[in-house]
Every structure is written in structure tokens, then in C-alpha cells.
Amino acid sequence: MSRLLGVVMWAGLFALPGAVQGQVRFQDLVLNLGGSVDAYSGNLSAVTVPIVDKTDHATAAVGELGLRGVLSLHASPQRSLVFMFDGGMRQAAAVGFQLRDYAPREWVGSSSARLTHTLGTWGSLVLRGGVRGRSVEDRPPMPLFLQPGYSTTSGGLGLATRPFGGVSFDLQADVEGADYRALEYLPQLDLLDRNGKGFELGVRWGGPSTIRFYGGFRWTDYNNQGSFDPADPYRRDRTARVGLEWTYPGDVFAQIGLDGTLNRSNSNRPEYDAVSLRALLTAPLPGEFSLNLYSVLTFKSYVHEISFARLVPGEEADNASVAYLQIGRALAANLDGAVRFAWTRAETDIGSAYYRRLGGSVQFNYRPLGN
């Protein structure tokens, strides 16, 4: 699976004559610079942090620098091949803890390739692969929650049809592997390693506003976690998900979605049910300003109530409640800025334990190529 990105890229390059001869160009290149102040609350413990400290509230000032881009390697009416990358660094200064102040630094990066092939007038086929990773230095205890460092490889295959009588279909299948970097003094991080595969099938109808109904299933194996069943010793999760999404395109873009998740396992600890309601609104404002509103409200309950700490890797951020308001404006031909206010309530690496974050940030996006 770790070779999938290379397979996608090289197969595409060799299959597309002239892909690297005069057709390579940037579709987008963005340098991001920003800063934020966040307030965290929650008197919690974390099982993947080797620091014993505590507080009810913490505050962090954060600066970040990033670069992302989209590189077109080939473009024709039948095929396209693009390479995407995104990387950056976030440096925080956190205060409010009893023992000492912390200065966590996050390095993140990802890259992926996508090959799209048009199937005549019938639809399109998409093959993709990617890698991503993160590293955290001076990771603080709760309530300032940062996931530990990891690396992942993933790949997928997608098929989308054109509308037939106003109805179109899409099918996606993917595989993923995650490796959490276990430190010598924190071997329990190896428990988070996982391999997964899944699919999603959707049907869309309507116009100009559309409704999409989708459903999918996922298999996830945690070969380093025990199930407490001698006959089936390693944890295996099976996840079903269904949802409905309404989208209205135009000068004012609106989207509302509702989905439900049922996670079942051969281990009692991570079995849960969750329902999420999300909404997105993008609209122009006077004075060439733009408004973005986004919210996700998630309600999650565990099937089995267990008193001791349990790891629920990969589900913390997926089951968060988030809301943000962003106001942006173009400042120059190739520079735009935005102010964002955000609220988060998310689960930590202990089941049924939550932290809250409230903050504001300023972001600048500079496109050196003017695209």
C-alpha cells in the first residue's frame, strides 16, 4: 500500500505521452501565514502523553506557516494527472499548567496524486494515492489536546456517472494504513496502528439544488490491540455509515447534511453510535468581503459503559462538534486575508472525555504566481 502513490504517478506518466514535456504547470500555489489565540478547558488526563500535569484552563498563542499547491502533470479531454502537496509548521506557546509552560511544535505534510480518465459520455474514473504525516515536539497534557505523531498511506478508486434522467451515481473504494510513532518511553502509541478498507455508494438527483443519499461500510484492524477474547485476540472494527446531503450552488452556496454511524467491534471498548448534523454557508458581503459559516454538531454514545480509560484511535476528531465564522477579503491581486472565530468540543484519547476550545485567528494567503 505504501507504494500506491508511486504506482499511480508513474503509471500515469508513462501512459500519457508528453506528460512532462511542456504540459507541467501549477494550477495553484499558496503560501499561508497566520496566527491565533485559543483558550482550552477541561480537567482531563491523557493516556498517550508521558507528562503528569494538570489544569482546568489553558491558553495558547499559535503561529503557523504553510505551503500548498496543485501541479498539473497532464491535461487532455480524456485524461488528467495532478499532483497535490500541503505542508507546514505550527508553533504554540501554552500557559496555565501547574508544573511548567509548554511550547508544542507541529510539523505536518501530505502529498497525493490523482489520475482522472473520462469514460466517453458515460462518466469518469478516478485513481488516487497519497501519503501524509505529522510530528509533535513537546506535546502538552490536557486540556490542550494534540494528537501524537503518525504517518499514513492511502489509495482509492472512484467512479462517477453522468446524470441519467436527472439521477447520477458514484462509487468510491479506499484502503489506508496508519503508523503511530511509538516513543521509547511511550510504547502504548503502537496500540493506535491500524489498517482499514472501505467503500461508499451514493446517488444524486435534482438541479440546480441537489440531494445526495449515500451509504458505506468500513473494515478496520488494530493488530496491536487486544480484544480480550482468546479465540479472536486482536481488535477488529466494522463501521456502517449512512447520510443525506442537500446542496444549493450559486452566488450563495449552502449545504446541509445529516449522517449516522454505527461502530461495532470484537472488543467492547470502542463500540458506539453517533449522529452528526452539519451546515455550510458561503455568501458575498458588501465591500468585496465574503462570509463563511460552518458547523458540525455530533452526538455520540458508547454501547458499553466501562469505567477505565480506553483508546478510541482515529475517532476523536471524526466525532467532534465544530463551529466557525470566517470573514475574508482580497487585499491585492494575489493576496487575501481572513479573520476566523472558532469553537470546538471534541473527544480526547479517553472515551467519553471531552475538551473545549474557543479562539480567534487571522490568516493570509499569498499566491506568488498570481493564479
| Cβ pair 130, 113 in contact under 8 A | yes
pLDDT tens series, the chain, 371 aa: 444 444 444 444 444 444 444 578 999 999 999 999 999 987 665 555 556 677 778 999 999 999 999 999 999 989 999 999 999 999 999 998 888 889 999 999 999 999 999 998 899 999 999 999 999 888 887 777 777 888 999 999 999 999 998 999 999 999 999 998 766 667 777 878 899 999 999 999 988 899 999 999 999 998 888 887 788 889 899 999 999 999 999 899 999 999 999 999 888 777 889 999 999 999 999 999 999 999 999 998 888 876 655 554 455 546 789 999 999 999 998 999 999 999 998 877 666 677 899 999 999 999 998 75
For residue 89, the SS3 value is strand
Bridge partners of residue 41, in order along the sequence: 57, 356
CA distance 214 to 166: 17
pLDDT value of residue 52:
65
pLDDT value of residue 187:
73
CA distance 146 to 78: 43
pLDDT value of residue 287:
92
Q: How many CA atoms lie within 13 A of 124 on its CB side?
A: 13
Bridge partners of residue 264, in order along the sequence: 238
Joined grid coordinates for residue 266: 470484537
pLDDT value of residue 113:
97
Write the DSSP symbol of residue 287: G
Residue 10 is inside which H or E element, if any? helix 4-15
Query: Is residue 351 packed enough to be buried (19+ CB in 10 Å), middle (13-18) or exposed (0-12)?
Result: buried
CA distance 143 to 318: 18
